[in-house]
Amino acid sequence: MKRLSFFALFLILLIGVSLTSCNFNGSNDVPISVNEDSSLKELKKKYESLVNEKSVLEDRLLNLTSSYSSLQTEITKLKADIKRIDEEIENSYSIFSYLENSVLESAVLVSHSSFSESNFWFFDFKDYIGGGIGSGFIFRQIGNYYYILTNNHVIYPKEGSTLEEIYVNDYYYNEYSATLLANDASYDMAILRIERKANDLPVMKFASDNPVGNDLVFAIGNPHGQINSVGIGNVLGYSKVNLSKPVASSNVKYDVINHDAYMLSGNSGGMLVNLAYEVVGINSWGGTTDTYENHRGLASPVLKIKEFISQNERYLRWWKWKRKYVFL
């Protein structure tokens, strides 16, 4: 009986030790489980951080790509603008180069002086009354003779004048005494002739028809005596001449060209030229201020110029015949 009790006690102790061992091992498993859960949280947190960082980088890349695309568009536009400006510069250079080398050499400065004559015994006297200055251009050459068109009011005598002296200065500042061949107040035009031994001055060509609205034109003349000035503008239309008071030297009744190419006193008689470098008009009236705003110029159209020359062609033919006759 004692032996059985001892065995039972031993068995109980053994079971107790086993249970204690199991509880110890179980207490070791709990911290491991907690550590694994903490690692997963850290890993998840890092994952989420990387995902957010990737999203930010993707957004930045998208913005940069969009900006790059915009820059590429802007660069393409700038290149196109630069190319267009280069072409305009080249065209402008070509225009002004031709104007300088051909058209401006046909332009002349016209001046006149009015005198009253008197004499005493065997002495002749002339008293200066006044004068004027304007512009003109060469429209024909016959041998050494050059024929110049200008305004009638540019060379019109001053009141009380008995003697007129007309002079022409060419592109090279050479001065010539000019002969008046024809003039007409109803056209406000006059034809002059000079003689030049060197045959190196170009002759202007006339356009086949009058210019129309918005045509680009160049007003070439000598404002205030400044030789070879060029004003650029457009044809605005046509209108009647409306002078503040009647002028004996200018009595134009037909419609004249309105344009906004800048010109001042002294441009009268100068040519109005188109992009084909042809004369489309002769400037007769313009602004008297030094501002460009609301500037207007008036010019007789080319068909009226041709009409005037045609009516006075006999003077040109006569001089041509006389020149041939003299040298033959």
Q: What's the CA gap between 57 and 60, in Å, rounded?
A: 5
User: 106 with 201: CB under 8 angstroms?
Assistant: yes
Task: Determine which one of 106, 114, 268, 300 is catalytic.
Answer: 268
322 Cβ neighbours under 8 A, 6+ residues apart? none
Task: Please indicate whether residue 153 is annotated as part of the active site.
Answer: yes
The angle subtended at Cα 253 by Cα 258 and Cα 249, nearest 5°, is: 95
Number of neighbouring beta carbons within 10 Å of residue 141:
14
Task: Please indicate whether residue 290 is annotated as part of the active site.
Answer: no
Closest CA to 184 of 160, 151, 210: 151
C-alpha dihedral sign at 306, 309, 313, 316:
negative
Task: Determine which one of 106, 111, 153, 300 is catalytic.
Answer: 153
Task: Determine which one of 170, 188, 215, 260 is catalytic.
Answer: 188
Task: Please indicate whether residue 244 is annotated as part of the active site.
Answer: no
Residues assigned a catalytic role: 153, 188, 268
